[in-house]
C-alpha cells in the first residue's frame, strides 16, 4: 500500500488492461488465424498496412520491447509506446513532417515554375500538353502549339553579358503574360525557347496571336536599348490538322520554327532586313481571275473626316484598321481594301466563333464581332447603319465572360451584302 502523500503511478490506457488476456488468447490460435487477427488489430491502432507474417513478427517484438522498456524505466510502459518504437525502428512507420499549408503551396509552385521568368517550366509543359490534348479530343476542338525562339539572343549575352540577357528573358515572359488570353498557357522549355498552348485556337488565330506576341515583344525590349536587334521567331502546329500526338506536334512546330529562323537569317544582312516572300506558314491567297473579281467597293471612310485614308507616307498618324474578312475569302484587287499603316498589335479573328456585341444601354441593336485586339474591335451590321460618335456595348466572346466597353467608331465601310462594317477603338 503506498504511503500517504506519495504520487500514484500513472494509469495505463484501457487497451493495456486486456493485453495479457489478448496475448494468452493469441498463443492458442494457429499462425494463419493469429496473423489475420493481428493485421486488423494493428491497422486499427496504428493505421499501417502490413502483411500477416509481418504483423506476427511486429507483435512478438512489441511484447519483448515492452518488457525491456518496463524493466529499464522501473514502471509499466504502455503497449502503444512499445509498438511505436518497434514500427519506427523497423522502417514500417515514416516520421511525419509537419509543414504550413502556405509553405506547401509555395513548394508546389516552385516545383513547376521557372525561377527567372516566373513562367511554367518544361515539366509542367509535358503534363499540361497531354491534358489539353485529351480535352481537345473529347470535345473535338482545335488546339494550337506555338514554339517561340529568340533570334540573336546569344549575341546579347556575348555583347552585353548574361545579366542583360536575363532582362531580355524577363521581358519575354512579361510579353507572354500581357499578350495571351486567360485560357492560354506559356512555358519556358529551354534557355531562350518558349512554348504556348492555345486551346480552341485554329491555325489562323494561332498565327495572328504569334504575330501579336512578336509585336508586343519588340515594344517590351525597346527600353533596354540593346545594340543587338533581338526578335522572336515562331513555329505552330495545330491539332488535329497537323497531327494528333504530342511528340508529332512538337516535331512539326520545331521544324516550322527553324524554317522561319533560317529565313530570318537569310533576310538579315549587316543588321538590315531584305524583303522576302512569305514563309510556308504565312500563305497568301492566290490572285483571283478577272471573272472572280467583284466590282470595286467603296473604300473605308473615316468617321471624323468623312474621307478615305491617305497613303502611309502622307498620313503616319492614320489609325490601322484592316478589313476583317477572313483571308480565305479576301480578294484584294486594289490597295483600297486595306490601310497601309500596320497596326501596332495584331487582332484575333472571331470569324466562326458566334461572337457578337449588344449595343446601347437598352441592348436594342446587335452586331457580329469580326475581330478583337488590345486597342479595339471590328463589328458588322447586316444593314446600313448611322453610327453615333460613341457606343456602349457588351461583348460576348467565347471563353471570356460578357465584357462591358465604351467604343469610339473610327472607320466604316459598306459590305458586298449591303451591311456596314465598323472599326472601333476602346475608350477608357
pLDDT tens profile 125-141:
999 999 999 999 999 99
Query: In sequence order, what DSSP letters do the residues of 273-307 get, joined into one string?
Result: E------TTS--PPPPPTTTPPPPPPPPEETTT-S
Where does a domain end: 250, 266, 282?
A: 266
> So what's the pLDDT on residue 13?
56
- The rounded percent of the chain whose pLDDT value lies above 90 is 22
- Catalytic (active site) residue 192: yes
Residue 412 within any structural domain of the chain: yes
* Pairwise pLDDT comparison (73 vs 122), residue with the higher score: 122
> So what's the pLDDT on residue 349?
78
> So what's the pLDDT on residue 9?
53
Residue 66 within any structural domain of the chain: yes
What does the block give as the cell for 81? 509506446
* Pairwise pLDDT comparison (293 vs 27), residue with the higher score: 27
Same-domain pairing of 29 and 142: no
Nearest in space to 108 (alpha carbons), one of 124, 130, 129: 124
Q: How far apart are the first and last CA of the chain?
A: 90
Same-domain pairing of 74 and 126: no
* Pairwise pLDDT comparison (35 vs 275), residue with the higher score: 35
Mean pLDDT, residues 51-63 = 87
- Which helix (H) or strand (E) element contains residue 412? strand 403-414
The CA–CA distances, whole Å, from 299 to 15, 164, 334, 339 equal 93, 47, 10, 10
Domain ranges, residue 181:
117-266
Mean pLDDT, residues 191-204 = 92
> So what's the pLDDT on residue 254?
92
Same-domain pairing of 59 and 128: no
Residue 97 has pLDDT above 60, yes or no: no
Nearest in space to 379 (alpha carbons), one of 392, 368, 391, 389: 368
Nearest in space to 39 (alpha carbons), one of 57, 51, 23, 27: 51
Residue 270 has pLDDT above 60, yes or no: no
Residue 213 within any structural domain of the chain: yes
Cis peptide before 134 (omega within 30 of 0): no
> So what's the pLDDT on residue 78?
80
Residue 11 has pLDDT above 70, yes or no: no
Residue 54 has pLDDT above 60, yes or no: yes
The CA–CA distances, whole Å, from 405 to 217, 337, 364 equal 26, 27, 16
- The rounded percent of the chain whose pLDDT value lies above 70 is 73
List pLDDT tens digits, range 315-372: 433 333 333 334 433 433 333 333 333 444 456 777 767 888 998 877 678 898 888 8
Same-domain pairing of 366 and 256: no
Residue 35 within any structural domain of the chain: yes
Out of 114, 184, 192, 202, pick the active-site residue. 192
> So what's the pLDDT on residue 150?
92
List pLDDT tens digits, range 222-244: 999 888 888 899 999 999 999 98
CATH code for the domain of 238: 3.30.70.270
> So what's the pLDDT on residue 313?
40
Same-domain pairing of 128 and 260: yes
Cα(34)–Cα(371) distance, integer angstroms:
75
Residue 276 within any structural domain of the chain: no
Position 289 confidence tier, pLDDT thresholds 50, 70, 90: very low
Number of domains in the chain: 3
Residue 233 within any structural domain of the chain: yes
What does the block give as the cell for 306? 468623312
Position 267 confidence tier, pLDDT thresholds 50, 70, 90: low
Same-domain pairing of 363 and 415: yes
Same-domain pairing of 310 and 202: no
List pLDDT tens digits, range 141-193: 999 999 999 988 989 989 889 999 999 999 999 999 988 888 899 999 998 99
Same-domain pairing of 371 and 420: yes
Same-domain pairing of 141 and 261: yes
Same-domain pairing of 256 and 317: no
Same-domain pairing of 215 and 142: yes
CATH code for the domain of 405: 2.40.10.220
Residue 295 within any structural domain of the chain: no
Residue 239 within any structural domain of the chain: yes
Same-domain pairing of 243 and 122: yes
Where does a domain end: 248, 266, 284?
A: 266
- Average per-residue pLDDT in the chain? 77
Cα(77)–Cα(189) distance, integer angstroms:
57
Position 309 confidence tier, pLDDT thresholds 50, 70, 90: low
Query: What are 197's strand-pairing partners?
Result: 145, 185
Q: Buried b / exposed e across 350-379, counting CB within 10 Å, b at 16+?
A: bbebebbbbbeeeeeeebbbbbbbebbbbb
Amino acid at each position: 500500500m503506498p504511503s500517504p502523500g506519495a504520487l500514484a503511478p500513472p494509469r495505463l490506457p484501457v487497451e493495456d488492461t486486456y493485453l495479457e488476456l489478448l496475448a494468452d488468447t493469441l498463443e492458442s490460435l494457429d499462425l494463419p488465424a493469429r496473423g489475420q487477427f493481428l493485421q486488423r488489430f494493428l491497422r486499427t491502432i496504428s493505421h499501417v498496412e502490413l502483411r500477416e507474417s509481418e504483423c506476427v513478427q511486429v507483435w512478438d517484438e512489441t511484447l519483448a520491447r515492452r518488457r525491456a522498456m518496463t524493466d529499464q524505466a522501473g514502471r509499466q510502459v504502455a503497449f502503444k509506446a512499445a509498438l511505436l518504437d518497434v514500427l519506427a525502428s523497423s522502417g514500417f512507420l515514416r516520421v511525419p513532417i509537419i509543414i504550413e499549408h502556405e509553405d506547401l503551396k509555395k513548394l508546389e509552385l516552385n516545383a513547376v515554375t521557372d525561377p527567372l521568368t516566373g513562367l511554367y517550366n518544361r515539366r509542367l509543359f509535358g503534363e499540361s500538353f497531354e491534358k489539353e490534348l485529351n480535352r481537345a479530343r473529347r470535345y473535338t476542338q482545335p488546339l494550337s502549339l506555338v514554339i517561340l525562339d529568340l533570334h540573336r539572343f546569344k549575341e546579347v549575352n556575348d555583347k552585353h553579358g548574361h545579366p542583360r540577357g536575363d532582362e531580355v528573358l524577363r521581358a519575354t515572359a512579361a510579353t507572354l503574360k500581357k499578350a495571351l488570353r486567360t485560357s492560354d498557357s506559356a512555358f519556358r522549355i529551354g534557355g531562350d525557347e518558349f512554348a504556348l498552348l492555345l486551346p480552341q485556337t485554329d491555325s489562323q488565330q494561332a498565327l495572328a496571336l504569334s504575330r501579336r506576341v512578336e509585336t508586343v515583344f519588340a515594344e517590351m525590349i525597346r527600353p533596354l536599348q540593346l545594340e543587338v536587334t533581338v526578335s522572336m521567331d515562331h513555329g505552330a502546329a495545330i491539332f488535329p490538322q497537323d497531327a494528333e500526338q504530342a511528340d508529332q506536334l512538337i516535331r512539326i512546330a520545331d521544324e516550322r520554327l527553324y524554317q522561319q529562323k533560317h529565313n530570318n537569317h537569310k533576310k538579315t544582312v549587316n543588321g538590315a532586313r531584305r524583303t522576302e516572300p512569305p514563309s510556308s506558314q504565312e500563305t497568301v491567297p492566290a490572285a483571283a481571275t478577272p471573272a472572280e473579281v467583284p466590282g470595286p467597293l467603296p473604300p473605308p471612310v473615316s468617321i471624323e473626316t468623312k474621307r478615305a485614308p491617305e497613303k502611309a507616307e502622307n498620313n503616319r498618324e492614320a489609325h490601322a484598321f484592316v478589313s476583317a474578312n477572313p483571308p480565305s475569302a479576301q480578294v484584294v484587287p486594289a490597295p483600297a481594301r486595306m490601310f497601309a499603316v500596320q497596326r501596332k498589335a495584331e487582332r484575333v479573328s472571331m470569324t466562326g466563333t458566334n461572337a457578337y456585341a449588344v449595343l446601347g444601354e437598352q441592348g436594342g441593336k446587335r452586331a457580329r464581332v469580326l475581330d478583337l485586339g488590345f486597342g479595339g474591335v471590328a463589328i458588322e451590321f447586316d444593314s446600313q447603319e448611322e453610327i453615333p460618335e460613341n457606343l456602349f456595348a457588351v461583348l460576348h466572346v467565347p471563353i471570356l465572360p460578357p465584357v462591358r466597353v465604351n467604343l469610339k467608331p473610327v472607320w466604316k465601310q459598306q459590305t458586298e451584302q449591303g451591311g456596314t462594317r465598323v472599326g472601333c477603338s476602346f475608350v477608357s
